[in-house]
Structure 1
C-alpha cells in the first residue's frame, strides 16, 4: 500500500500548477512535458531551447534536492527490468503523440481551461493507467 501524504501531495500539486502558470505567463506555452521534451530534439524551431533544458533539469533535480534536503532517500519505485522500461517508454511516447499531448498538458493545463478534448484524453490516460497497474500487480505479478 502506498503511504498517504496529503501535505507533500498538496505542495507538489501547487508547484506543478505554479510552474504551468509561470510557463504560460513567460513563454505563452502550455506545460506539456512530452512537448517540451520532444522539442529538445532538432530541428529547433524557436529560441526557447534553454528554457526547455531548464524545465527538464528542474523535473529531474527537484526530487533529488528535496530528498537531499529532507534527509530521506528517494524511494526506489523504478523497475530494474530494462526491456520492460524501454517498452513502457515507447508506449508512453506513442500515446503522447497519438493523444496530441500528455497527462501534464491535458490533465493539468487542458482541464484548467475546461477543454472537452483534454477531459476525454485524461479519462483515457487514467483508465489505461488503472488497467495497467491492475494487470501488472494482480495478473502478471510483477
Structure 2
C-alpha cells in the first residue's frame, strides 16, 4: 500500500509539474503519438518524458528487487493486449493517464466519461478472463 501511495503521489507530482512548467498534459499516449508527427517541433521534451518513465521503472526495480515483473503471462498475449490498448487510446482520444490523472484533476466531464468507460471495460474483461475463459492471473 505504501508503494502505491508513493507511486501515485509521484505520478501526480510529475503531471502537475509538466502542466505548470511546460503547459502540457501528461497523457502518455498523446505524448507518444506526438513523436510520430514529423511536423511537430516539440520532440525533445516528449523523448525526455518517455525516457524518464522507462528510467523510473528501471530504478524502481533496482531499489525494490523483491518486486520483479510478473513472468507467467504469455508474450503473444501481452503483445496483443498492448496493441488493443493502442487502438483503445486512439478511439478514446486519450489514455488512462491523460483522462484519469490529468482530466479528472481538471474536472473534465469528457475525462470522467472516459474513465467510467475504462473502468467498466476493465471489470468486464477481468470477469471474462477469470471466470469464463478460466485464466488465472
TM-score normalised by length of structure 1? 0.86
Distance 1:79 1:42 in 2: 33
Question: Quick one: structure 1 residues 128 and 77, their matched pair in 2 at CA, closer, same or farther if it must change by over 3 Å?
Answer: farther
Count of aligned pairs between the two proteins: 135
The 10-residue stretch of structure 1 (67-76 or 55-64) with the greater mean CA deviation from structure 2:
67-76
Report the TM-score when normalising by structure 2: 0.89
Query: Structure 1's 89 and 133: CA in aligned 2 closer, same or farther, altered over 3 A?
Result: same
Moved segments of 4+, more than 6 Å: none
Check whether the contact 1:63–1:74 (CA below 8 A) recurs between aligned residues.
no
Unaligned runs of 5+ in 1: 1-5
| Alpha-carbon distance, 1:77 to partner | 5.5
Q: SS where residue 35 of structure 2 aligns?
A: coil
Q: How far is 1:73 from its partner? A: 4.5
* Aligned residue in 2 for 1:68: 62
Which one of 109, 116, 121 corresponds to residue 116 of structure 1?
109
Q: Matched residues in 1 for 2:45 and 2:119: separation?
A: 29
Mapping of residues 116-135 of structure 1, within 5 Å = 116-135=109-128
**Change beyond 3 A, Cα 1:52–1:8:** same
Deviates more, 1:34-43 or 1:68-77: 68-77
CA distance, structure 1, for counterparts of residue 65 and residue 71 of structure 2: 18
Q: Matched residue of 1:75: which SS?
A: coil
User: How far apart, in 1, do the equivalents of 2:17 and 2:74 lie?
Assistant: 35
Measured in 2, the distance between the counterparts of 1:129 and 1:60 equals 24
